[in-house]
């Protein structure tokens, strides 16, 4: 099978618009959390989240007009806006925008979302109730459908290869990158623009996850301290929003055109828990099987993994994941570093796996593991270094990124430096 | 409501929804052929006219509204 490498990165995150500014702030230990500013959330059990900083583009804020005409923005939900912006960045970074018409037949898009246009659906439902069905916009459906991110990106850039979208809750981003890499390996495409996007910070989104008892609720006065993976005082995840998109490319094609190569996707594993709609089993053997499948596909020994970007959402499941990772690594666990960047960005749901794959790649590039913020009381059975509070500068040649979703769906990605 | 007033308000809606220059919104300007609208844009435009003028434009009538002039004429008769 063909080798697949990453040649472009793009991101819109609660820390910043753009990959490099987000990465700088992540290493700097900044948090994207704050009291929700977009709507009055004071009546909800949780009134804080990690919102994308909107602005005029200065100080790395997200300027929507820079990515999409205002008249087009009206027609789409925010998750499409974020996805298109992150894809544009990745495409520019990879330098594939000027591909020939013939080459574009083999460039595809696979950008997923966990929930899609939740806010649009909520607003439209209210409007039908108040004013009747004739007031429904013709852009409501195409502005809310999950696969319309892939659709919009293909239309904008003329990419006529496979056009697909993943929907696997919080493992969407990782599944999209893994599945897209498979399409290249098998020859269905030469290049894939892949990732995830999400815009769940709305009254219906917060209320829905509150009802599942999934969100942190105890930090109204100090939201920056709310996302605390593995910490003894963790009380749920902090909602985030944004998008992460990578350009995946056939290695030979990338080499031939002299592309900048960030990493090679060497392993991808998938599994199902067959256990519960929202909770992992007590030993999360499903997560372990996904990781082992990725290791097997990569043809490496687990001890070769230097850094793990954990799913680590700041819920009770964190320590269950840690147990599965420590079983996978065995004695080598003491030599590896694992962190949860959700401590800084919050949980971007369907975009999480994509931005975290990007962070894992940058950890290899810069030989530094980003920190786990707010981890003041680590679990006693932690053998692995969880990078509490501060980044860890160390050798990182091979990385694993985990993502698990509601429904018991698991994805693990393993990437390696190409020259390693 | 004066006829000039209707024209001004219709033009404003077209400019806002289609993101076009005001000068391009002339009597015979076709929404699809001249102003860059697609079929969904025209559905939304008709909805915006209904909203602005408090009128109802049935689907068969909406299909006959192809140009800025068509829209102004229909609305003048309807209000």
> What is Dmax (Cα atoms) for chain B?
30
Distances (CA, A) of A267 to A244, A270, A352, A398, B9: 19, 10, 18, 11, 59
The domain A4-257 is placed in CATH, from the list 2.60.40.420, 3.40.50.300, 3.40.47.10, 3.30.365.10, at 3.40.47.10
User: Quick one: pLDDT at residue A420?
Assistant: 47
Confirm if A5 and A265 have CB atoms less than 8 A apart. Answer: yes
Domain span at B63: 1-76
Q: Which residues of B touch A70 (CB under 8 A)?
A: 19
Q: What CATH number is associated with residue B43? A: 1.10.1200.10
Checking if the pLDDT of B3 tops 80, the result is no
The chain B residues in contact with chain A (CB within 8 A) are 16-19, 40-41, 43-44, 47, 50-51
Positions of B annotated as catalytic residues are: 38
Instruction: Identify the bridge partners of residue A404 per DSSP, sorted by sequence position.
Output: A410
Q: Do A71 and B43 touch (CB under 8 A)?
A: no
Confirm if A142 and A372 have CB atoms less than 8 A apart. Answer: no
Cβ-based neighbour number of residue A40 at 10 Å = 10
Within the 137-156 window of chain A, which residues sit less than 8 Å (CB to CB) from chain B? Answer: 137-139, 142
State which residue of chain A sits closest to B58, comparing Cα positions: A134
Task: State the 10-residue block means of pLDDT for chain A, 420 residues long.
Answer: 97 98 98 98 98 98 96 96 98 96 98 97 97 95 98 98 98 98 98 98 98 97 98 98 99 97 98 96 96 98 98 98 98 98 98 98 98 98 98 98 98 90
The burial of A182, by beta-carbon neighbours within 10 Å (0-12 exposed, 13-18 middle, 19 or more buried), is given as middle
Q: Which residues of A touch B18 (CB under 8 A)?
A: 71
- How many residue pairs from chains A and B have C-beta atoms closer than 8 A? 20
**Chain B CB within 8 Å of residue A133 CB:** no
In DSSP notation, A30-69 reads: ---EEE--SS--TTSS--EEE---BSSSGGG-B-GGGTS-
Q: For chain A, give every domain's residue range.
A: 4-257, 268-417
Q: Domain A268-417 falls in which CATH fold?
A: Peroxisomal Thiolase; Chain A, domain 1 (3.40.47)
Give me the sheet containing A337-339, strands edge to edge. Answer: A163-164, A107-112, A191-198, A242-250, A4-12, A263-272, A409-416, A398-405, A307-309, A337-339
Which residue in A241, A265, A264, A361 sits closest to A309, CA to CA? A361
User: Quick one: pLDDT at residue A259?
Assistant: 97
Q: Can A4-257 and A268-417 be said to share one CATH topology?
A: yes
pTM recorded for the entire structure: 0.96
Q: Which residues of B touch A137 (CB under 8 A)?
A: 44, 47
User: Quick one: pLDDT at residue B2?
Assistant: 77
Confirm if A376 and A328 have CB atoms less than 8 A apart. Answer: no
Q: How many domains does chain B have?
A: 1
Q: Distance (Å, rounded) from C-alpha A29 to C-alpha A341?
A: 10
Greater confidence (A225 vs B3) lies with: A225
ipTM above 0.95 for this complex: no
Q: Distance (Å, rounded) from C-alpha A175 to C-alpha A196?
A: 9
Q: Which of A10-19, A275-284, B2-11, B23-32 has the lowest mean pLDDT?
A: B2-11
Half-sphere exposure in the Cβ direction for A184 (13 Å, CA): 30
């Amino acid at each position: 099978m063909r080798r697949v490498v990453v040649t472009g990165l793009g991101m819109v995150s609660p820390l910043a618009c753009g990959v490099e500014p987000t990465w700088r702030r992540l290493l700097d230990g900044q948090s994207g959390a704050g009291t929700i500013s977009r709507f009055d959330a004071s009546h909800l059990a949780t009134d804080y989240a990690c919102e994308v900083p909107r602005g005029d583009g200065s100080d790395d804020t997200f300027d929507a007009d820079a990515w999409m005409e205002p008249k087009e923005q009206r027609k789409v939900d925010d998750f499409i806006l974020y996805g298109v912006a992150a894809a544009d960045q990745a495409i520019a970074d990879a330098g594939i925008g000027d591909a020939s018409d013939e080459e574009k037949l083999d460039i595809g898009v696979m950008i997923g979302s966990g929930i899609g246009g939740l806010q649009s659906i909520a607003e439209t439902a209210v409007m039908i109730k108040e004013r009747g069905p004739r007031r429904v916009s013709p852009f409501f459906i195409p502005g809310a459908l999950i696969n319309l991110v892939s659709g919009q990106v293909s239309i904008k850039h003329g990419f006529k290869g496979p056009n697909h979208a993943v929907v696997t809750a919080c493992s969407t981003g990782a599944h999209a990158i893994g599945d897209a890499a498979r399409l290249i390996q098998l020859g269905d495409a030469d290049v894939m623009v892949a990732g995830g996007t999400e815009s769940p910070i709305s009254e219906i989104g917060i209320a829905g996850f509150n009802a599942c008892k999934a969100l942190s609720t105890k930090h109204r006065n100090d939201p920056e301290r709310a996302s605390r993976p593995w910490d003894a005082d963790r009380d749920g995840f902090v909602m985030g929003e944004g998008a992460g998109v990578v350009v995946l490319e056939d290695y030979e094609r990338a080499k031939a055109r002299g592309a900048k190569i960030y990493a090679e996707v060497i392993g991808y594993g998938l599994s199902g828990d067959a256990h519960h709609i929202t909770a992992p089993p007590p030993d999360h053997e499903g997560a372990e099987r996904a990781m082992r499948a990725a290791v097997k596909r990569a043809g490496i020994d687990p001890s070769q993994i230097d850094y793990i970007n954990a799913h680590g959402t700041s819920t009770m499941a964190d320590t269950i994941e840690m147990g599965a990772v420590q079983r996978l690594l065995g004695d080598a666990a003491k030599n590896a570093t694992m962190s949860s960047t959700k401590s800084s960005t919050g949980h971007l749901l369907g975009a999480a796996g994509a931005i975290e794959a990007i962070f894992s790649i940058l950890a290899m590039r810069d030989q530094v593991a980003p920190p786990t913020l707010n981890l003041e009381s680590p679990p006693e059975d932690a053998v692995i270094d969880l990078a509490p509070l501060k980044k860890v500068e160390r050798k990182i040649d091979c990385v694993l990124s985990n993502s698990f979703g509601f429904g018991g769906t698991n994805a693990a990605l393993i990437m390696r430096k190409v020259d390693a | 409501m004066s006829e000039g007033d209707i024209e001004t308000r219709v033009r404003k809606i077209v400019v806002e929804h289609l993101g076009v220059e005001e000068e391009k919104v002339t009597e015979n300007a076709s929404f699809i052929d001249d102003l860059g609208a697609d079929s969904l844009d025209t559905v939304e435009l008709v909805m915006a006219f209904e909203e602005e003028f408090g009128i109802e434009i049935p689907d068969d009538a909406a299909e006959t509204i192809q140009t800025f002039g068509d829209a102004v004429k229909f609305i003048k008769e309807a209000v």
